[in-house]
Homo-oligomer: A and B are copies of this chain.
Amino acid sequence: MKFSPLLSDLIQAFTCLPGVGNKSAQRMAFHLLERNREGAIGLSNVLHNAMEHIHHCKQCRTFTEDELCDICRHPERADSGLLCIVESPQDVLAVEQTLSYSGQYFVLMGHLSPIDGIGPEEIGLDQLELRFKNGNINEVILATNPTVEGEATAHYIAQLCNEYNIDASRIAHGVPVGGELEYIDGNTLTHAFSGRRKL
């Protein structure tokens, strides 16, 4: 015995969400059917809308329903000549929440990973090069993740910057503020030592 066909379809459909298996999908389906049909209809509509209208910003590749995202449209940011390169839209949000950066962004939507067939074009580096050519960027801050792939991507882009005589810098790796030295891994600590600054 199974649930009714439509109910089975609904449960199956929920498993397309990340981290949702059959049991969680059942729980979601029954929760919405029993307690929140309005919310479910709302989710259905927004989901449809979003998938139809959200695409990549023409300039920075983040997700937006407009041609250019809010940040790219900001005139002061465009004049700053600063470009921060991150891997994902969530990273943009993380940097923005610090309130300490006021330049533009370029979102790679991933990182170089030749083994998965992700080369420079897949992460929009041709588009980035066009921006370098246009010549209104003075400095690039490489804020890719401190993983092997992130580092490789940062190095690749740094070389690209070199070709166009643009300053490229990598965000600092070191001990997180509020962290305790004894719990920090050796690799991070090595970075913290080699990246020390004079007081």
Residue ID in chain B nearest A55 by CB atoms: B33
Q: Are B16 and A33 in contact (CB under 8 A)?
A: no
Stretch at the interface among A58-66, A112-120, A188-196: A58-66
How many whole Å from A150's CB to the nearest CB in chain B?
17
Which of B17, B40, B54, B69 is A28 in contact with, Cβ under 8 Å? B17
> With the chains together, A32 CA to B51 CA distance in Å?
8
Q: Are A43 and B13 in contact (CB under 8 A)?
A: yes
Interface residues on A, range: 35 or more
Given contacts A33-B54, A64-B4, A70-B4, contact A13 B96 (CB under 8 A): no
Interface centre among A4, A5, A31, A93 (most CB of B within 10 A): A4
> With the chains together, A109 CA to B49 CA distance in Å?
33
A38-95 interface with B by 8 A CB criterion = 39-51, 53-54, 63-66, 69-71, 88-90, 92-93
Residue ID in chain B nearest A95 by CB atoms: B1
Q: Are A54 and B13 in contact (CB under 8 A)?
A: no
How many whole Å from A49's CB to the nearest CB in chain B?
6
